[in-house]
């Protein structure tokens, strides 16, 4: 079963033999609804010390880094002393890492591959791998890591746990659709694996699987191992919080057989050691990680545009205009949807602007403009045609933006006023995140 039976490096972790696993786990899985399970600061400190001992005794190096707790379910990394540019901050050996390939090789993973048909997400294999280890309790090689992981993703702020009143604050946003999409995928995967013999024998529930999937979703690293793409869960490194201007870079090092984190600039003592979760808008951060960034230039809006030229013209190649991944492209039979970032200009932007203007120019073409236009090549972009066409394109974009804005119960200016009042919208609260996400 891959790494499941590894025992070296576990038995000599101080204090582990005296810890009762039922204080934190129910059937090997955290109980998010029981307030009595909240971990005290002293207990959390003991757990982080056990994690650090376990990592070091298995070959990890992080002499200048420590774990910090700032809320019941909040963790981050801080420096104990200064780090110089290029210095290795963290090294985690492969034996302390759980990867997709480990999940697929495990007993549960092999059973899933044998007894199911159709697509099974890679995150599902990681999730059942984590659940297997958590069910083993103190017998798991990974137990010192598992006991410091979040147990309550409602407390983490994940909108999949919001009630209907809270969800209404996200009406007409991309965020709500992505939130539901994540949950739908979890349910879909659970329905595919729940009748697998090993899964049935485990007595895991949907709630257990949700916990595991959110654990995977919020703390994986995309790496390359021996030339093949891999997704890994890496203890300690997974506690770094997000910052677009992070001072770190990480990768998996085949020669060292482990995961390394280095700093690309000097970092002083008692500073947060951060990573970036990607160049994403809050519509991705909230449903995937449970937070929003206050000033986020990667935010996007979704515009619903006509499927055909508004003058009734047949524009050859209209459906094959270039659309990048970040711009999204969806046709529901009524509209074509394109996502654009808040820095969109007529010259384009890094996220959807070029695609929006290219498509808008095409659907407002007049007959003389179309006749003078060379045929559109597949995966091409339509550059500015004339001042008149550009004005019509801008007018159409404004019209469609106004339609979207009128759906919201508050205006953009009213939301800015709400955000200025931290009593009404406290930092990191679900309500503030909802306002930021819309």
Read off the pLDDT of residues 139-173 as tens digits, 9 standing for 90 and up.
999 999 999 998 899 988 999 999 999 999 999 99
Write down the pLDDT at residue 73. 57
Write down the pLDDT at residue 399. 97
What's the distance, Cα to Cα, between the start and end of the chain in Å? 45
Task: Write the pLDDT tens digit of every residue in 298-334.
Answer: 898 889 999 999 999 999 988 888 777 767 767 888 9
Cα separation, 248 vs 275, whole angstroms: 6
Q: At 382, list the tokens.
A: 């339509």
Write down the pLDDT at residue 319. 84
In sequence order, the 6+-apart residues with CB closer than 8 A to the CB of 376 are: 315, 316, 317, 318, 320, 321, 362, 382
HSE-CB of 156 using CA atoms within 13 angstroms: 23
Q: Is the dihedral of CA 374, 376, 377, 382 positive or negative?
A: positive
In the block, residue with structure tokens 């002499």:
63
DSSP one-letter code for 142: T
Nearest C-alpha neighbor of 396 from the set 360, 354, 365: 360
Write down the pLDDT at residue 344. 57
Sheet strands side by side (includes 221-225)? 98-99, 228-233, 221-225
Write down the pLDDT at residue 110. 98
Write down the pLDDT at residue 86. 97
Strands 330-331 and 258-263: unpaired
Cα separation, 323 vs 346, whole angstroms: 16
Q: Kindly give the parts of the chain with pLDDT less than 50.
A: 1-36, 346-348
- DSSP-based three-state secondary structure for 358: helix
Write down the pLDDT at residue 71. 65
Cα separation, 160 vs 288, whole angstroms: 9
The total number of residues shown for the chain amounts to 438
CA distances from 112 to 124, 189, 200, 307, 348 (A): 10, 11, 11, 42, 45
């Amino acid at each position: 079963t891959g790494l499941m039976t590894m025992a070296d490096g576990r038995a000599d972790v101080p204090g582990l033999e005296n810890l009762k696993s039922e204080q934190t786990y129910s059937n090997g899985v955290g109980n998010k609804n029981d307030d009595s399970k909240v971990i005290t600061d002293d207990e959390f400190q003991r757990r982080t010390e056990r994690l650090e001992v376990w990592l070091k005794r298995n070959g990890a190096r992080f002499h200048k880094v420590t774990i910090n707790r700032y809320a019941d379910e909040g963790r981050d990394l801080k420096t104990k002393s200064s780090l110089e540019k290029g210095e290795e901050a963290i090294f985690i050996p492969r034996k302390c890492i759980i990867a997709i390939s480990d999940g697929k090789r495990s007993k549960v993973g092999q059973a899933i591959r044998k007894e199911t048909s159709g697509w099974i997400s890679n995150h599902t294999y990681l999730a059942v791998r984590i659940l297997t280890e958590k069910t083993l309790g103190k017998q798991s090689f990974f137990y010192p890591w598992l006991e410091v992981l979040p147990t309550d993703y409602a407390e983490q702020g994940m909108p999949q746990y919001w009630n209907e009143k809270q969800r209404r604050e996200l009406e007409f946003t991309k965020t709500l659709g992505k939130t539901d999409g994540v949950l739908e995928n979890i349910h879909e995967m659970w329905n595919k694996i729940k009748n697998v013999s090993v899964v049935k024998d485990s007595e895991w529930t949907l709630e257990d699987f949700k916990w595991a999937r959110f654990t995977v979703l919020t703390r994986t690293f995309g790496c390359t191992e021996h030339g093949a793409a891999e997704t890994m869960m890496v203890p300690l490194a997974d506690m770094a919080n997000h910052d677009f201007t992070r001072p770190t870079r990480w990768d998996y090092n085949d020669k060292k057989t482990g995961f390394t984190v280095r700093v690309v600039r000097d970092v002083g003592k008692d500073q947060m050691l951060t990573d970036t979760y990607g160049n994403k808008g809050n519509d991705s951060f909230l449903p995937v990680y449970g937070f929003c960034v206050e000033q986020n230039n990667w935010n996007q809006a979704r515009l619903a545009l006509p499927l055909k030229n508004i003058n009734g013209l047949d524009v050859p190649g209209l459906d094959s205009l270039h659309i990048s991944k970040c711009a999204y492209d969806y046709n529901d039979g009524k509209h074509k949807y394109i996502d654009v970032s808040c820095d969109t200009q007529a010259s384009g932007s890094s996220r959807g602007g070029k695609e929006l203007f290219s498509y808008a120019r095409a659907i407002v073409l007049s007959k003389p403009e179309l006749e003078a236009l060379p045929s559109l090549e597949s995966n091409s972009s339509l550059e500015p045609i004339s001042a008149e066409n550009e004005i019509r394109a801008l007018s159409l974009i404004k019209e469609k933006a106004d339609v979207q804005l009128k759906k919201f119960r508050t205006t953009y200016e009213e939301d800015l006023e709400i955000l200025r009042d931290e009593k009404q919208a406290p930092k990191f609260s679900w309500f503030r995140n909802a306002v930021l996400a819309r």
